[in-house]
Amino acid sequence: MKEAKSVFVSLAALLISLALAPGTPPAAVAYTPFSDAEPVLDALAEVLPPGLRAKSHPELESMWPSWVKSRDAEIRERLNQGDEDTIINLLLFGTSFTQEPRLTAAQLKKLSPDPNQVVEGEPGTQVRALIQSRVQDLIIGMDSPGNNERLLFARKVAERAGIKFSDANGKEEAAHYLYEKYLRVLREQSSYQQLLAAAHSLGDPTEEFAERSKIYKDRGLSLDTSLPPDFALEVALTTMRDRGLLSASSVRRVGIIGPGLDFTDKQEGYDFYRTQTVQPFAVMDSLVRLGLVKPEKLEVDSFDLSSRVLEHVERARRAALQGRPYTIQLPRDPLRGWKPELVAYWKRFGDQIGSSVPPVAVPPSLHGIESRAVSVRPTFVKRMRALDVNIVLQREEVPEKAKFDLLVATNVLVYYDTFEQSLALTNIQSMLRPGGFLLTNNLLLELPSLKMRSGDYVPVEYSSRPADGDRILWYRRLP
């Protein structure tokens, strides 16, 4: 609840700053009106959440405003668990607070969520000892975080759970806390593997994709982001241009739903550079490269419910208004075996909106990791705005002539079930201009009452590892 409150406070701050920004119209955010939700409630009567089930229309209508507000708070509450998951990624992969080696993918795969079980094919004690040392080092770091923003954040998350580092037994409690959360994350990972296997056993690729598309519906909301989905978006945009769906300079207003924050992601988890957001810049870069926008006309709004994401974007925009560029670090592990097309994307990333600069040095413990960096020109950075929107229950209210040409939501809707995804699609529809597109990597239900229709999709492989890729679908708003 605390998080939700602080989001509302920061919304006010953001709106004030937006109103003050020269040439930028103030933004208005509203909850989904009942009239728009009604067809979704009708069509999905069988799968509504308990509080909305078996109610008459007048009952639903009168309870809608309060239900929406309380559900909004519940969804925002899920950010807390996502924060804890992120701290566990830092525990497993971080190099800024420890000399211990990172956990390898192979070790992670073999780890059992049961602390008493021996790790398959390897003495469990060895991995447990490694994790214990990492826990100790992380606690030392959290106790004296200096200006390491990840350690400061980890400490804040632990303090939120009631841990006081100043207490005599504070560090012991912190160790207990980290170990518990680590075991929870392991248990969840193993249950996701089971869900994926169950989806696969359906034997129908579309059904499997539909199941995968909501697999995190009960998970904490995490902010992770990485480069490969941005490559997949560029492939999709190229296909749409080549098929005549998007013509030269036809895109002006773009919205990124859930841009994310690269803090320490669950796959690679680098922590040797400052946290950053990537997707808004990636989409700008691709649109300029493909000739789909006039750079001087482009506007990119970021919609998120995380105050951390919103404040980050807003800080970057303010800095750009004072002429400061935004630097993005792009590490790459050659052992991940990226496809040549993805490597080429990594090499060209940012060349339309900025220029290459020397990257932050890769620490010696990460030997083999390559990196490059891009400095994005302020003229592009200041085209971004940040808006506090929970896309499941809210929308930006946009006048007809300012509606979006393109909305992007990758790795966002997967955190919601069919009902909430359908509400999100209603909000997305209200923000798109007729003929505008949503690009997503989740398969969404197409309710006949909605004006959103799926076009096609492009499958994009990131490496030759199994299931290492995405499908980007486009949904078009009918007139």
Residues that bind ligand SAM in the complex, under the rule CB under 6 A: 75, 221-226, 229, 257-260, 279, 303-306, 309, 389-392, 410-412, 415
In this complex, which beta carbon is closest to ligand SAM, that of residue 303 or of residue 338? 303
How far is residue 276's CA from residue 456's CA, in Å, rounded to a whole number? 31
In this complex, which beta carbon is closest to ligand SAM, that of residue 304 or of residue 396? 304
Min dist. Cβ of residue 302 to ligand SAM (A):
9
In this complex, which beta carbon is closest to ligand SAM, that of residue 89 or of residue 390? 390
In this complex, which beta carbon is closest to ligand SAM, that of residue 226 or of residue 267? 226
Min dist. Cβ of residue 32 to ligand SAM (A):
12
How far is residue 47's CA from residue 214's CA, in Å, rounded to a whole number? 14
In this complex, which beta carbon is closest to ligand SAM, that of residue 98 or of residue 277? 277
Min dist. Cβ of residue 151 to ligand SAM (A):
21
In this complex, which beta carbon is closest to ligand SAM, that of residue 100 or of residue 420? 420
Min dist. Cβ of residue 247 to ligand SAM (A):
26
Letter for the amino acid at 168? A
How far is residue 202's CA from residue 206's CA, in Å, rounded to a whole number? 10
Place of tokens 């602390």: 115
Min dist. Cβ of residue 124 to ligand SAM (A):
31
Min dist. Cβ of residue 101 to ligand SAM (A):
26
Min dist. Cβ of residue 304 to ligand SAM (A):
4
Other C-beta atoms within 10 Å of 281: how many? 27
In this complex, which beta carbon is closest to ligand SAM, that of residue 223 or of residue 320? 223
In this complex, which beta carbon is closest to ligand SAM, that of residue 135 or of residue 237? 237
Residue 170 phi, psi (nearest 5): -60, -45
Min dist. Cβ of residue 217 to ligand SAM (A):
11
Strand-strand pairing, 384-388 and 354-357:
unpaired
Min dist. Cβ of residue 265 to ligand SAM (A):
8
In this complex, which beta carbon is closest to ligand SAM, that of residue 257 or of residue 330? 257
In this complex, which beta carbon is closest to ligand SAM, that of residue 100 or of residue 396? 396
Min dist. Cβ of residue 283 to ligand SAM (A):
10
Question: Residue of minimal CB distance from ligand SAM?
Answer: 258
